[in-house]
């Protein structure tokens, strides 16, 4: 009996020591983690008793702040231009957060260890606790122009603008949008009604179409196909290539055709069985030329090039999570299917951000910079806590190949017969671009999506833009004017009209 009691006593002692060790571990190493949990009742109450940090644009426009209010809580979140910046800021509510509010919550809520000393000093000096300020790379002029232009279409759409040399995101807009101020209510019942309304809306206003909705890239993918061909070394913009009016696809009765079944004729190919320069085929967007190029290059080479441009990457964050753009392996390396994939159809899908990345890489001598949206974080006493350091994501193509693709993109806008000449040509700003009209739905029964990617100015790129308008039809007609307005607004804000 004594032996049994001794074993039980030792077991209880061991359990007691484990509990003691756990308590000490939690107190010593996890106070910050526990404090940051929204389920923490003390944290829940305290988060509205101090001034949460503000979110500001690159040009110092405040787009999210906490205002002093009367009642049981001292501060309430407020968004001055809610719909314009909702895809960026997200919302901060009683029970959850999205967007930058969620991604940078540790700084905005002053719970990050980097603010521990500052919080202690404020406590000792009797100053109220205050969150850090998060400054974004977003330019207010470009952002407003992007949202206004998307809203004018009345169609689901997204747009992203990037500084090609740094990867800084200058605009990130989505339509339809939502009002994050409604999520700032302290009434839990009202919050539930608002959330249910938005989540059940067929317009999907909570969907961030700039980074979380993918669509076929259509002919904008010809940037990738051209890059693959030029990198292989057997082609350049002036190489004359086979340009049939109808491209017979192997092992199938299907034929690939150009838009409106038109011939790819630069004046030297009236019969539709001859050759044209690659740059002409790119400028007028001949599907048959690039479908044939794709079959010669092979799906593996196309996928390797697509990967370099950022496709097939599940881990991209800006810091918001970005949905993956896809160029999946072509089944059995089938040449007919490869032809479709080479013109941005089949299973190819991209976000507007990916479209902007295509143009940004070409504009930056082939170097794709990692996209980012947080420029710096500053403590309440103006001490810098975080400052962004631009980094390269990939060398997509050589500078020589980038120059060749850039020349072709410039031709799309500059040449009177280019697909974007009528909607993107400006006398005072040179724009390089590629249009896309993406078929979708079962047997392509859905409305065509309008896709557009570009950068400007051509000789000194300052901005790259990607736009997708769902059901917008021709990329040149629906998406190109949006990109142009973003470019004009941004360059004007920088004093470069």
Residues taking part in catalysis: 219
- List the Cα angle 57/63/66 in 5-degree steps: 130
Say how far apart CA 406 and CA 213 lie, in whole Å: 27
Say how far apart CA 367 and CA 339 lie, in whole Å: 27
Return all residues near 252 (Cβ < 8 A) that are at least 6 apart: 336
Say how far apart CA 453 and CA 226 lie, in whole Å: 15
Phi-psi region of 18 (alpha: psi -120 to 50; beta: other; left: phi over 0): alpha
Token pair, residue 182, equals 């409604």
Using an 8 Å Cβ cutoff, are 406 and 362 in contact? yes
Say how far apart CA 210 and CA 486 lie, in whole Å: 14
What is the DSSP track for 55-95? EE-TT--EEEEEEE-SSS-SEEEE-SSHHHHHHHH--B-SS
Using an 8 Å Cβ cutoff, are 342 and 291 in contact? yes
Shortest CA distance to 223 belongs to which of 142, 294, 317? 294
Find where tokens 């790819």 sit. 264
Return all residues near 496 (Cβ < 8 A) that are at least 6 apart: 457, 462
Say what the alpha-carbon torsion angle 91, 97, 100, 106 is, to the nearest 10 degrees. 130
Say how far apart CA 305 and CA 186 lie, in whole Å: 50
């Amino acid at each position: 009996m004594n032996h049994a009691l001794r074993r039980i006593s030792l077991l209880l002692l061991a359990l007691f020591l484990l509990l003691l060790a756990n308590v000490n571990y939690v107190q010593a190493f996890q106070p910050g983690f526990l404090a940051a949990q929204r389920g923490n009742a003390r944290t829940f109450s305290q988060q509205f008793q101090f001034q949460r940090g503000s979110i500001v644009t690159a040009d110092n426009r405040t787009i999210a702040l906490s205002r002093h209010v009367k009642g049981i809580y001292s501060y309430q979140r407020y968004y001055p231009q809610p719909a314009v910046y909702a895809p960026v800021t997200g919302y901060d509510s009683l029970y959850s957060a999205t967007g930058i509010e969620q991604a940078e919550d540790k700084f905005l809520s002053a719970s990050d260890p980097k603010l521990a000393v500052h919080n202690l000093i404020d406590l000792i000096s009797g100053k109220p606790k205050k969150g850090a300020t998060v400054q974004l790379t977003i330019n207010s002029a470009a952002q407003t122009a992007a949202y206004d232009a998307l809203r004018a279409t009345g169609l689901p759409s997204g747009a992203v603008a990037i500084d090609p040399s740094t990867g800084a995101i200058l605009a990130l807009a989505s339509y339809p949008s939502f009002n994050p101020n409604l999520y700032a209510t302290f009434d839990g019942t009202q919050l539930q009604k608002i959330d249910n309304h938005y989540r059940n809306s067929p317009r999907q206003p909570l969907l961030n179409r700039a980074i979380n909705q993918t669509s076929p890239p259509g002919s904008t993918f010809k940037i990738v196909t051209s890059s693959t061909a030029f990198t292989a070394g057997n082609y350049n913009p002036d190489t004359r290539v086979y340009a049939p009016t109808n491209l017979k696809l192997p092992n199938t009765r299907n034929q690939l055709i150009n838009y409106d079944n038109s011939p790819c004729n630069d004046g030297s190919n009236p019969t539709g069985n001859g050759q044209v320069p690659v740059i002409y085929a790119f400028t007028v967007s001949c599907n048959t030329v690039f479908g044939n190029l794709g079959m010669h290059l092979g799906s593996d080479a196309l996928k390797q090039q697509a990967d370099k441009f950022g496709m097939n990457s599940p881990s991209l964050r800006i810091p918001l999570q970005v949905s993956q753009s896809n160029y999946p392996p072509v089944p059995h390396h089938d040449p007919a299917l490869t032809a479709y994939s080479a013109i941005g159809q089949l299973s190819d899908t991209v976000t507007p951000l990916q479209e902007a990345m295509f143009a940004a890489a070409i504009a930056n001598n082939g170097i794709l910079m990692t996209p980012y949206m947080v420029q710096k974080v500053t403590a309440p006493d103006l001490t810098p806590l975080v400052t962004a350091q631009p980094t390269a994501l990939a060398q997509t193509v050589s500078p020589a190949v980038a120059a060749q693709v850039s020349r072709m993109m410039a031709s799309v806008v500059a040449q009177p017969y280019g697909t974007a000449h009528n909607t993107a040509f400006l006398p005072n700003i040179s724009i390089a671009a590629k249009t896309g009209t993406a078929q979708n739905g079962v047997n392509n029964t859905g409305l065509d999506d309008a896709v557009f990617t570009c950068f400007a100015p051509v000789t000194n790129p300052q901005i790259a833009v990607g736009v997708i308008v769902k059901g917008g039809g021709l990329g040149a007609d629906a998406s190109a004017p949006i990109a142009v307005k973003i470019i004009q607004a941004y360059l004007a804000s920088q004093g470069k009209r």
